[in-house]
Structure 1
Amino acid sequence: MGRAALGATALGTATVAYAAGFERTHWKLRQATLPVLAEGARPLRVLHISDLHMLPGQKSKQRWVSELADLKPDLIVNTGDNLAHKGAVPAVLRGLGPLLDLPGVFVFGSNDYYAPRPKNPVRYLIKSKRRVHGIPLPWRDLRAALVERGWHDLTHVRRLLTVEGQTIAVAGVDDPHLHRDRYSDIAGRPDRSATLRLGITHSPEPRVLDAFAADGYDLVMAGHTHGGQLRVPGYGAIVTNCELDRSRARGASRWGAHMWLHVSAGLGTSPYAPVRFACPPEASLLTLVPRPTGTNTPENAKHGARFGAGADVS
């Protein structure tokens, strides 16, 4: 019994050391091809960034993110939770760096508005409607800097953007996790002549996804889940921290008959829960291509696109 207990303790210690010391800084680029564009459209490359949870001293994360500009995406989509500290705005801007020279859109998440707080880790595994906010964060300063560089704040806004000569109808909502979303502000069918009808939200709450789908959007992009953050091989995410089912905690899937959903597992963690297991931090490069002629059914998409090409579906 003593040896078994000692072995279990050693294994647990090694697992925590791996999750906290290695995997949470082992950033990866996930790629997927999604058939969401109008017939005859040229492919678009969209870089999805989410959940940076940046601290001022995270220099290696800032360097890795800035190097994503070498991918030369056509559009950047940032789905929030950039901040984890009241002094992190300059660090976020250093990380985004050259990406800010490219077309971009964004919405904010709960940890752009409020700093994370210490809490019992067990609460992460139990659904609770109780919200305890940390100190307010300087999201207005971050917003001003992003808008000044030409990115579009889509918080309860609908816009038509021209990207690579193609029209994209975009719309977004404030963070549903904090019940700040007001979909009624953007409700209605987007421009049907657009090459792409794109919705963005921080938390992928089903009520919001249903609204986007009912209005005829082709693709919705979200973050918040951290991909589950702790995943069990063969089982997947333990929780999603929202009402989304576990099977969609990261990657691409269909939502309803015609809409695609892409959920980023994100690039960071709360400083009070700095671990990831079987779920490395990630950014995603999505190659958007035309829908199959005459149909929107999922059977016409490659199976790998269901979770994102190369994704671990465990």
Structure 2
Amino acid sequence: MSFIMRLTLALLIYFIVEFYFYKRFKNSIAKLFPNINKSRLKKIIRTIIIFTNLYPVILVIYFVYLMISGAERMSAIENSFFDWLLVYPFWTSVLIIVQSIVFLLPIDILRILAFPFYKKNREAVRRKISILTLFVIIAAIIYVPSRIAYDYNFVSTRVTTLNVENLPESLRGFKIALIADTQADWYTDEARLNNYIESVNDSNPDLVLIAGDIITSTPRYIQQGADAFKRLTAQYGAYTCVGDHDNWAYRSDHPRSLREISAALEFAGVEMVDNDRRVINVDSSTIGITFVTYTYSRRITQSDLEFLVNGNGKHDVDIFLTHQPNESLIEITSKLGYDLFAAGHTHGGQLTLLFPYINLTPTLIETNYVKGDFYLNDMMIIVNRGLGMSVAPIRYNSTPEVTIIVLQNKE
């Protein structure tokens, strides 16, 4: 399906969802406040709809212009006034609408199914449903922007334990910081990056592993993305695998993107490892790390993967670090004696809707390994929520995360 078709389909679905939301809202207001000026209410709703949808309309016009003019690629509109006037209101309204509908739709379905049992009291039931509808919408209006602001400004440090059989004394209590997706760009600026790195240093890790995605796109942010890592203080250094966006500084020249990012990172004291192994020596103990490139643009070949994992040897702790938590890689790795599979990529489900007993996020379409700790056979799997953002310049119910992995002997 072409980009135009996908964009058209996405907008069509959203406008249907938006129509349903505002119709429910208008009907509930009219039900509870029968004397309200309905004409004025319609005008207010229409004004809100027009204002919050200006951003996608401008993007469509911009995209059509680029197609007509023959421009090579779409450049992001980087302007604070534009963001606060149009971008943030659009994305906030999208989440308010979708978060509300996650609760309103089941209520509507139950209402329809239960109609034969309450039809004699339909007016009383409709009034109660209208009250519940307004409660859900008002709660979303309060919670959604508050949570967006929280997830933009704060970093969560999560401590977890990796238990390893016959772990040498010198590695007991050894701390590894796993971070990912720093994605330096217009929205993840120097202040936000520094706050993230300070959170890493506050935990005083011995080693830092980065699961890729140093920038979002364009070469303008390579230096900014790399410079943040100069502040890392881990005794045994910092290493990163290749992420999706690390190929996209120059969209038409992936090798150049990796060369420039790798060079900037090296100057900052971070080694980018592309399909290779490294051994960290801690006194007489060793930590073996296999770095595998598994991204949308480049995926390790089966022969190269077999060479890497079969030649890995056995160390006191064996770690497999890659960008995407691909299920086939996880299955392969779990059979080869690795103690830990570490990844990022998912942003922890960057936009996650609240719902009882389940976190609803588009990320589930790609993988069930969205965030946190998992186990397969004897191998631990950790997916870090990272810092940056893709597509939408916000996070929702996905606070940026630093994962501190403490090595312990398995009793």
The TM-score by the shorter chain falls in which range?
0.7 to 0.9
Conservation of the 8 A alpha-carbon contact between 1:161 and 1:168: yes
Give the alignment partner of residue 264 of structure 1, picking from 384, 389, 392.
Answer: 384
List aligned pairs for 1:84-233, cutoff 5 A. 84-86=216-218, 87-99=220-232, 102=235, 103-114=237-248, 138-163=257-282, 165-182=284-301, 183-188=305-310, 190-192=312-314, 194-231=315-352, 232-233=354-355
Q: How far did 1:63 drift? A: 2.1
Q: Deviations over 1:223-256 (max 9, x none)?
A: 01111123334202524366532xx31111112x
Task: Give the letter for the 2:384 counterpart.
Answer: S
Conservation of the 8 A alpha-carbon contact between 1:112 and 1:138: yes
Q: Deviations over 1:87-111 (max 9, x none)?
A: 1122222322221664122111111
For the aligned residues, what is the CA RMSD?
Answer: 2.8
Assess, with a 3 A threshold, how the Cα gap between structure 1 residues 135 and 188 changes in structure 2: closer, same or farther. closer
Give the alignment partner of residue 63 of structure 1, picking from 188, 194, 197.
Answer: 194
Larger helix share, 1 or 2: 2
Q: Measure, in 2, the Cα distance between the counterparts of 1:49 and 1:188.
A: 27
Q: Measure, in 2, the Cα distance between the counterparts of 1:48 and 1:28.
A: 12
Q: Measure, in 1, the Cα distance between the counterparts of 2:276 and 2:365.
A: 23
Give % identity: 23
Q: How far did 1:211 drift? A: 1.9
Assess, with a 3 A threshold, how the Cα gap between structure 1 residues 150 and 195 changes in structure 2: closer, same or farther. farther
Q: Measure, in 1, the Cα distance between the counterparts of 2:344 and 2:370.
A: 9
Any gaps of 5 or more consecutive residues in structure 1?
Answer: 117-132, 293-314
Aligned length: 271
TM-score (norm 1): 0.76
Task: Give the letter for the 1:244 counterpart.
Answer: T
Assess, with a 3 A threshold, how the Cα gap between structure 1 residues 94 and 237 changes in structure 2: closer, same or farther. farther
Task: Give the letter for the 2:308 counterpart.
Answer: I
2:71 corresponds in structure 1 to none
Larger strand share, 1 or 2: 1
2:367 corresponds in structure 1 to 244
Higher-Rg member (1/2): 2
Conservation of the 8 A alpha-carbon contact between 1:101 and 1:149: no
Q: Measure, in 1, the Cα distance between the counterparts of 2:252 and 2:399.
A: 26
Assess, with a 3 A threshold, how the Cα gap between structure 1 residues 112 and 16 changes in structure 2: closer, same or farther. farther
1:78 to 2:199 alignment: no
Any gaps of 5 or more consecutive residues in structure 2?
Answer: 1-26, 30-129
Q: How far did 1:146 drift? A: 2.5
TM-score (norm 2): 0.59
Q: Which structure has more RCO (C-alpha within 8 Å, separation ≥ 6)?
A: 1
2:156 corresponds in structure 1 to 28
Task: Give the letter for the 2:191 counterpart.
Answer: S
Q: Deviations over 1:143-190 (max 9, x none)?
A: 113334554433210232213552111111112444522323413163
